[in-house]
Amino acid sequence: MYYKDLEIWFIVGSQDLYGDETLKQVAGHARIMTEELNGDDLLPCRILCKEVAKSPADIARLFGQANASDACAGIITWMHTFSPSKMWIAGLKANKKPILHLHTQFNRDIPWAAIDMDFMNLNQSAHGDREHGHIYARLGLAPKVVAGFWQDRELRRRVGVWIRAAAARHDGMHSVVLRLGDNMREVAVTEGDKVEAQIQFGWQVNTWGIGDLALLYQGVSDARAEALVQEYEGRYDLAPELRQPGPGRKAVLEQAKIELALGEMLEREGAGAFTTTFQDLHGLPQLPGLACQTLMEQGYGFAGEGDWKQAMLVRAAKVMARGLSGGTSFMEDYTYHFEPGNEAALGAHMLEVCPSIAVSRPRIEVHPLGIGGKADPARLVFDAAPGPAVLVTVIDLGDRFRMIANEVETIKIEQPMPKLPVARALWKPLPGLHEAAESWIIAGGTHHSVYSAALGLEHFRDWAEMMGIEFVHIGKDTRPDGLRDDLRRAASYWSRF
Ligand code: MN
């Protein structure tokens, strides 16, 4: 489902005490607000104005309806007046949807000359929302709380970020990770508890044999592959030798066939993400390189070496980033540049980095790959666009999942790297390479991650909160020793679950 198919329910709380006239005004204000919010591109889903919640029965019914609605991705609550929050306990205990507690009021300014007690009774979210917030704290719930005037751009941006996270959660609850083969042998960090992942995130992580893909691959006609390669020629440059018949052209056609076969399989299985592993490619001529890159560009999650957690996180990030500028990709920390004062990390993968992060038109090239023992694979070669980005991962600690996010500044690659024909990104992590790397390692972070120039920390933090998992931020103020202490303290919090 896409944003246009999803709804965010807007539930405004009040109570019967105020009488019909006031309650009519409350309902009218809620309608005006939702209409205006729906006209703002910062909020990517439709906000659905529900009836004013005035009693425990109303509230329980509204949350029950939200739980039963597949289109409802989340709920915004706001107390225009005072709404005694013991009335909300049953509804909130039954609730299964992410909540954003919007703390705002209909009027921006106090009408100094006209203000009277009627106005005060109608516009009292300043205390109504405190009563409402208390019941979340009492129930141990952690909705996102956004305070400010509802017409302000920053408030709407933050609500929009939360909606994107809610949409990604919704997508994950309906998504399958299609694993082709198992994880790379002996690797720890790409492993994890797939049952727990489904309980926690909704992700259905299942395995298919590579033979299923090889069979579909054999069935793709040369004509369909040729037509797809002609589409590539519209989007990418092709190395000169790939434009005429020969072994290079054949390699590109093979990747086009892999893309078509994989695309068919993903569609058939309702999968939003997939993994491959170079140790299990029997029946395929090459490691899927270009094919993984183009499928990621279409919005599929992907990670190499069977890393299903990052594949699904790439998918979640792709959903959150839909319609935003800046790309999102699977990424791997590869090599460091330790020049004093100019430290940076070079990120790449064997092949599979998404062209959405490219600074300029990517180029298809065919070169040998020193791993896997297959034919020379076609791949897209490009540099990542400079600018701020985030690197994010999810790990399985055995008793819980942890998300780790590091802010980075991607920089222009000044030196040509003619012997490294892969997609690559060069970044300076915050607070600095040494401290960022120490912090990431202390937190148990992966070599694989999601790289996004489209999303910020808040998107991932909102998503992690909705999922009820730990969120570890590495940024300009992070010190490795302090982080180690923080993680030790947090462990006692997480041990409660
Ligand atoms: Mn890898």
Give the CATH number for residue 89: 3.40.50.10940
Question: What is the spatial distance between Cα 493 and Cα 495, in angstroms, rounded to a whole number?
Answer: 6
Residues 190 and 311 in one domain: yes
Q: How many CB atoms neighbour CB 354 within 10 A? A: 29
Average pLDDT estimate for 380-407: 98
Distance 119 CA to ligand 1 centre (A): 61
Question: What is the spatial distance between Cα 114 and Cα 110, in angstroms, rounded to a whole number?
Answer: 9
Residues 155 and 287 in one domain: no
Distance 303 CA to ligand 1 centre (A): 8
Residues 85 and 206 in one domain: no
- Express each pLDDT in 11-30 by its tens digit: 999 999 999 999 999 999 99
Distance 244 CA to ligand 1 centre (A): 32
pTM: 0.97
Q: How many CB atoms neighbour CB 242 within 10 A? A: 23
Residues 337 and 226 in one domain: yes
Residues 151 and 192 in one domain: no
Distance 215 CA to ligand 1 centre (A): 26
Distance 40 CA to ligand 1 centre (A): 40
E strand map for 119-264? 144-147, 176-180, 204-208, 237-238
One-letter identity of residue 335: T
Residues 153 and 245 in one domain: no
Element (H, E) at 118: helix 117-122
- Residue 306 has what pLDDT? 97
Instruction: Identify which of 362, 344, 378 has the alpha carbon closest to the alpha carbon of residue 423.
Output: 362
Instruction: Identify which of 247, 359, 231 has the alpha carbon closest to the alpha carbon of residue 298.
Output: 231
**Sign of the C-alpha dihedral computed for residues 370, 371, 374 and 379 taken in this order:** negative
Distance 305 CA to ligand 1 centre (A): 6
Distance 467 CA to ligand 1 centre (A): 26
Residues 12 and 147 in one domain: yes
- Residue after which a domain boundary falls, among 172, 203, 223: 172
Distance 408 CA to ligand 1 centre (A): 20
- Give yes or no for residue 1 having a pLDDT over 80: no
Distance 172 CA to ligand 1 centre (A): 23
- Give yes or no for residue 123 having a pLDDT over 80: yes
Give the percent of the chain with pLDDT over 70.
Answer: 100
Distance 375 CA to ligand 1 centre (A): 19
Question: What is the spatial distance between Cα 349 and Cα 331, in angstroms, rounded to a whole number?
Answer: 6
Distance 334 CA to ligand 1 centre (A): 9
- Residue after which a domain boundary falls, among 172, 191, 219: 172
- Residue 164 has what pLDDT? 98
- Residue after which a domain boundary falls, among 122, 145, 172: 172
Residues 319 and 441 in one domain: yes
Residues 423 and 475 in one domain: yes
Residues 214 and 259 in one domain: yes
Distance 240 CA to ligand 1 centre (A): 29
Phi, psi of 359 (to 5 degrees): -80, -25
Instruction: Identify which of 298, 287, 306, 412 has the alpha carbon closest to the alpha carbon of residue 352.
Output: 287
Distance 304 CA to ligand 1 centre (A): 5
Distance 257 CA to ligand 1 centre (A): 23
Q: Domain span at residue 61?
A: 3-172
- Give yes or no for residue 390 having a pLDDT over 80: yes
Give how far Cα 388 sits from Cα of 127, 359, 414, 429, 461, Å: 39, 13, 17, 10, 17
Average pLDDT estimate for 127-144: 97
**349 neighbors 303 (Cβ within 8 angstroms):** no
Using left for φ > 0, alpha for ψ between -120 and 50, and beta otherwise, residue 185 falls in beta
Residues 204 and 278 in one domain: yes
Number of independent structural domains in the chain: 2
Residues 397 and 342 in one domain: yes
Distance 441 CA to ligand 1 centre (A): 17
Distance 6 CA to ligand 1 centre (A): 34
